[in-house]
Structure 1
Amino acid sequence: MSKMRKWLSPILAGGAAGLANGFFGGGGGMLLVPLLTRRCGLSQRKAFATSVAVILPLCVLSSAIYFFRGGLDFGTALPYLLGGLAGGFAGGKLFKRLRMDWLRRAFALLILYGGVKALFF
């Protein structure tokens, strides 16, 4: 496999994750986790962790663009940010302790909930 072909699929997947984050304010990780497991052969646990590392700079970039275009309300975002930081810390600490089948189920339920909510509410 040529170097170009080796990099093309991850670059396209990253682009799709970036578009999802830019359009919807999130969701790039939902695209990346299946790709990281199937295309890159990562375990589900490593795919979850790797997608977080990829999504962080995408979120920072999208937030900066929203901010400079006047679409970001820091006052409203701050309490969510504080709660999100606490939840992210707790989730990171508990991540290794949880069984993978429960993590997969929780991830699937989160995707289903988001899909149903987007379609009907």
Structure 2
Amino acid sequence: MKNTAKYAVTGALAGAANGFFGAGGGLFLVPLLAGWTKLEQRRAFATSVAVILPLSIVSAVIYWIRGGLDFATAWPYLIGGAIGGVIAGRIFQKVDMVWLRRVFGLLILYGGVRAVLLL
């Protein structure tokens, strides 16, 4: 399978995660970009961030059209997320990939445990 097809399938999985759960596309993108498409790990993280923005916008528009989006509640998170994104983007190149992978793995594990135990 050519890389273009692999990228499209990876993007489709990320889009489905965003559509179903409102977020979570990075859970698919980072491992698949790094493992399946052989993209270097640091580039996989950065590419995931670039892809998630338009996917999140599409998902947000769909939720808004269907009446499920509360802008008043979302604004503080958007502002805080933008600030956190700028800070993390500035220090991203300085953090060892081993630690980035470990933290990412712990976040996935934490999310999975919460999803299973806190139904």
Q: What are structure 2's unaligned runs of at least 5 residues?
A: none
2:31 counterpart residue number: 34
1:18 counterpart residue number: 15
Aligned residue type for 1:65: I
Aligned residue type for 1:61: V
Distance 2:7 2:95 in 1: 28
Aligned residue type for 1:42: L
1:43 counterpart residue number: 40
Which of structure 1's runs of 4+ aligned residues deviate more than 2 A?
none
Aligned residue type for 2:19: G
How many residues in Structure 1 have an aligned counterpart in Structure 2? Answer: 117
Q: Could you tell me the TM-score, scaled by structure 2's length?
A: 0.94
**Does structure 1 retain, via aligned residues, the 8 Å contact 2:10–2:33?**
no
1:100 counterpart residue number: 97
Distance 1:108 1:21 in 2: 19
Superposition deviation, residue 8 in structure 1: 2.5
Aligned residue type for 1:68: I
Distance 1:105 1:30 in 2: 14
Q: CA RMSD in A?
A: 1.0
Q: Secondary structure at the match of 1:59?
A: helix
2:108 counterpart residue number: 111
Inter-CA distance 53–64: structure 2 relative to 1 (3 Å threshold): same
For the pair 1:62 / 2:56, whether they are aligned, the reply is no
**Does structure 1 retain, via aligned residues, the 8 Å contact 2:18–2:59?**
yes
For the pair 1:86 / 2:83, whether they are aligned, the reply is yes
Q: Could you tell me the TM-score, scaled by structure 1's length?
A: 0.92
Aligned residue type for 1:106: V
Distance 1:100 1:8 in 2: 27
**Does structure 1 retain, via aligned residues, the 8 Å contact 2:6–2:37?**
no
